[in-house]
Amino acid sequence: MRLVRVLTCAVGVAGLLTSTGAYADTTNVSFLTHWAPDTVAKLEAAAAAYSKDHPDVAITVRAVPFGDLLTTLRASGGSAGGATIAGIYNAWLPDLAKDKLLAPVPDAMATEIKSDWPAGIVGASSTGGALYGFPNEIDVYALNYNKKLFAAAGIKDAPKTWDEFLADAKALTDKSKGQQGFGMINSWAAGVIHPFSSLLVSNGGDLVVDGKPVLDSDAAKGTFELYETLVKNGYSDPTMATADANTTGPFLDNFVSGKTGMIIMANWWESALKSGMGAGFADVATAPIPVGPKGDKPRSISYSWMTVVNAKASAAEQKAAWDFLSWLDGPTSGPAGGSAMGDILMSMGILPSRTSDVAAFKDRLADPFLKGYLDTLPDAKPFPVVLGGQEFSEALQQHVEALQFGKESAADAQQGAQSDAVAILAKAAK
Amino acid sequence: MKRYLNGPLLVMLAPATVLLGVFILLPMLLTIWLSLQDWSTQTGFDTARFIGLDNFAEIFGPGSVGRDFKTALANTAIYTVASVAVILPLSVLFGLLVYQQRVAGGVVLRTILFSSYMVPMIAVTLVWSKLYSPSEGPLNQILGWLAIPPQKWLSSPDSALGSIVLLNVWQQVGYFTVLAVAGLTQIPKTLYEAAEVDGAGPVASFFRITLPLLRRTMLFSGVIAIINAVQVFEPVALITQGGPINSTNVLTYHIRRVGIERSQGGLGSAMAVTLMLALIVAVVALFAFARRGGEEE
């Protein structure tokens, strides 16, 4: 009897040790993103497919609203317990790399990335000569307009110049119906400054050149004045423009409900428009950004996102994370030679950046809505990636919003924006 | 005898004192020390560089950092004063209404009032963001039935902060009503009976008996309401993100933006220290005001 008891205990202890050993062998990888639940489900499905062949790696996905992504990264991402992988906006890269939160891509993988992605995209995912992650999405801005409202206002084609743009905005404005010609955005830094910057570069201007802000240019003066004209004449109503932490809110509601004639937005907007408009999405068309009096051709702003690995994660976690990302972004994980990441991005209407993905998803990229963005891409200028970029964006946002609400004149907004930008970028570069 | 008392006293006081010291006093001292340093929150304390009062000079200076901080400080002060100024009188009014023991359903009414306080702020915020929708929100639809033009609520810099105050009042007033009711139960009924015999009407009884004897309750409510208001965060983070044009940017949200998003730990600490000092001054002033009122009576 005593022997049986001893044997039972021994088996129990052995079982416990075995299970503990198995648990200890599992590498946990967490993936932080700002994607919506349906996209998170696709990422989880891809992670599950990867784990089938890699049972020793457990991948979990955590999603936060876009407005909380950087804070979450800063607050917990920089610790060993933070997310192992995170999707980040490239403008944040210099500051995050400076604070040593990100692990550089292992050399062998960096060589692969450099051969499989366009050089410009690889450059946007690098800082200080080091590549910090897998590039994934590219976003570019274009003019979206409501064809039904255009027809009702007797407008045949999308505006090509600022004069035509103002004339169309006037024709589309009908205060008795609560309808505005052009919809601006406020309370969301990127939503405010990206459309503004797209008009600026289409007027021959820039935000930053060689690390120095150039908002004191004539091209910038013209852009601030364009906003002032739109607001003063009532073609754009700033109270219809508020966004919330999920980058939705009244500005989205007003476009999908046919109360806004034109907006300037990025391609990722497609999924929000489809879910908000249903069959009415067929009324939405895409066109290049109208050219300003100082511009040479339609231009736009582009920016990219990338997936990075936490520098504070353990060596095993980092290794598993890079291996998973290599598979996720590789040509065997998705349909028809495309990557699983490319497939996920395409489901949101986002342009993938891997060269083989562009070929693999060429049918879906021929969609008229996305084609308008693809046509804009070759002449798009990348949004500046500089130290202090987030603070610079938020300072410019305040002046553009003040202009929208008539709290600052175009001249004051331009002067204030340039003066703030000079101080912020100089301080960040120290 | 003295030695005999000191030993057990120290033993009994030590756990609480140590816990307070480690979890409250030490972080406060650390924040004050960091407010005098140039320090990134992503690096160790060993990288902090002493810069004296430079952080304070910057947050009160003319640059974008100073402008945003002063706006956030002013917004927090306006939000706090407006919240307290509306919540306290309303809580007394509702307290008087639900305290009427002869009225049927008083307990049910009290429960309903308190229930708003039990709903998590995050849920309140999400619901109110839809109620405030300028085009499709129920609030503007109700106003339309009353022939009142639609309001801009959170979409205008002139009304956004007021809209957040309204949301706060709705959520908090039930809790303060319960406090007011607790205060009312402490007032002896004989005082009202004596006043009635002396010919005092309900208005005179309220100003001569109820309000003076509610002073301690109101002081407590005032302090709690101020502290709650200064800590406002969820509605700003979830709905307005400080906008439009920083009109709802309050200090807690701004400190998070500067200290965490931008990693400017020294600047964020200087802002936190300033907020702490402002709160101390406000609460001390409230106590002094209440004491002065008591002495005059």
User: What DSSP assignment string belongs to B84-108?
Assistant: HHHHHHHHHHHHHHHH-TTSTTHHH
The whole-number pLDDT of residue A194 equals 95
Record: contact A245-B239, CB cut-off 8 A: yes
Tens of pLDDT, residue by residue over B195-210, are 999 999 989 999 999 9
Asked whether the predicted pLDDT for residue B62 surpasses 80, the reply is yes
For B74-83, what is each residue's pLDDT tens digit? 999 999 999 9
Q: Ramachandran region of residue A216, left (φ > 0), alpha (ψ -120 to 50) or beta? A: alpha
Nearest to A239 among B43, B134, B238 (CB): B134
Q: What is the pLDDT of residue A242?
A: 87
Question: Between the CA of residue B104 and those of A284, B110, B178, what are the distances in Å?
Answer: 58, 12, 18
Domain span at B282: 55-296
* Domain count along chain B: 1
Closest to B156 (Cβ–Cβ): which among A239, A245, A391? A239
Give the pLDDT confidence score for residue A298 in this predicted structure.
95
- Reduce the DSSP state of residue B191 to 3 states and report it: helix
Helical ranges in B2-145 per DSSP H:
2-20, 26-34, 54-59, 64-99, 106-118, 121-131, 138-145
Residues in a beta bridge with A291: A161
d(CA B261, CA B256): 7
pLDDT for B9 equals 83
Q: Which residue from A101, A249, A402 is facing B245, i.e. has the nearest CB?
A: A402
Whether residue B140 lies inside any domain: the answer is yes
**What is the H or E stretch that residue A85 is in?**
strand A85-89
Contact yes or no for A334/A171 (Cβ under 8 A): no
Q: Determine the Cα–Cα distance for residues B224 and A296; give it in Å rounded to an integer.
A: 61
Residues of B in contact with A242 (CB under 8 A): 154-155, 240, 243-244
Residue pair A160/A291 in contact by the 8 Å Cβ criterion: yes
> Is residue B6 domain-resident?
no
**Position B50 in a domain:** no
In a domain, B7, yes or no: no
Q: Give the type of residue at A363.
A: D
Question: What are the chain A neighbours of B137 within 8 Å (beta carbons)?
Answer: none
pLDDT over 90, % of chain B: 65
Lowest mean pLDDT among A58-62, B107-111, B128-132: B107-111
The reply to whether B258 falls in a domain is yes
Give the containing element (helix H, strand E) for B199. none
The two tokens of residue A307 are 């997936």
pLDDT, position A229: 98
Chain A positions contacting chain B at CB under 8 Å are 67-68, 70-71, 74-75, 78, 95, 99-101, 178, 186-188, 238-245, 249-250, 253-254, 257, 259, 390-391, 394-395, 398, 401-402, 404-405, 407, 420, 423-424
Cα A218 to Cα A200, A301, B234: the distances in Å are 10, 19, 41
| The predicted structure's pLDDT at residue A13 | 46
| pLDDT, one tens digit for every residue, chain A (430 residues) | 454 454 454 444 444 444 444 445 789 999 999 998 999 999 999 999 999 999 999 999 999 988 788 888 887 766 667 899 999 998 889 989 988 889 999 999 999 999 999 888 888 899 988 999 999 988 899 999 999 999 999 999 999 999 999 999 999 999 999 999 999 999 899 899 999 999 999 999 999 999 899 999 999 999 999 999 999 999 999 999 988 766 678 888 899 999 999 999 998 888 889 988 999 999 999 999 999 999 999 999 998 999 999 999 999 999 999 999 999 999 999 998 999 999 999 998 888 989 999 899 999 889 889 888 988 888 889 888 888 888 999 999 999 999 999 999 999 999 999 999 999 999 988 7
**Which residues contact residue B257 at a Cβ distance below 8 angstroms, ignoring those fewer than 6 apart?**
A394, B242
CATH, residue B189: 1.10.3720.10
Quick check: B245 and A398 CB within 8 A?
Answer: yes
Does B114 map to a domain? yes
**What does the block give as tokens for B45?**
């304390």
CA of B118, closest CA in chain A: separation in Å?
24
Q: How far apart are the first and last CA of chain A?
A: 77
Q: Under 8 Å CB-to-CB from B82, ≥6 apart: which residues?
A: B162, B165
C-alpha A357/C-alpha A376 separation (Å) is 19
B2 domain residue, yes or no: no
With tokens 């939705």, the residue in question is A248
Q: What is the pLDDT of residue B238?
A: 86
Q: CA-CA distance, B70 to B51, in Å (whole number)?
A: 21
Number of separate helices (H) and strands (E) present in chain B = 15, 2
Which of B129, B135, B262 lies at the smallest CB-CB distance from A391? B262
Enclosing H/E stretch for A306:
strand A300-309
Domain assignment present for B49: no
Give the three-state DSSP class for A235: coil
What is the predicted pLDDT for the residue at A16? 43
3-state secondary structure A139-180: EEEEEEEEHHHHHHCCCCCCCCEHHHHHHHHHHHCEHHHCEE
In 10 A of CB B66, how many CB atoms?
Answer: 14
Could you tell me if B219 lies within 8 Å of chain A, comparing CB atoms? no
Is there a contact between A393 and A190 (Cβ–Cβ < 8 Å)?
yes
From first CA to last CA, the distance across chain B in angstroms is 44
Backbone φ and ψ of A48, nearest 5°: -65, -40
Pairwise pLDDT comparison (B12 vs B30), residue with the higher score: B30
pLDDT score recorded for residue B297: 58
| Chain B residues near residue A78 by CB distance under 8 angstroms | 42
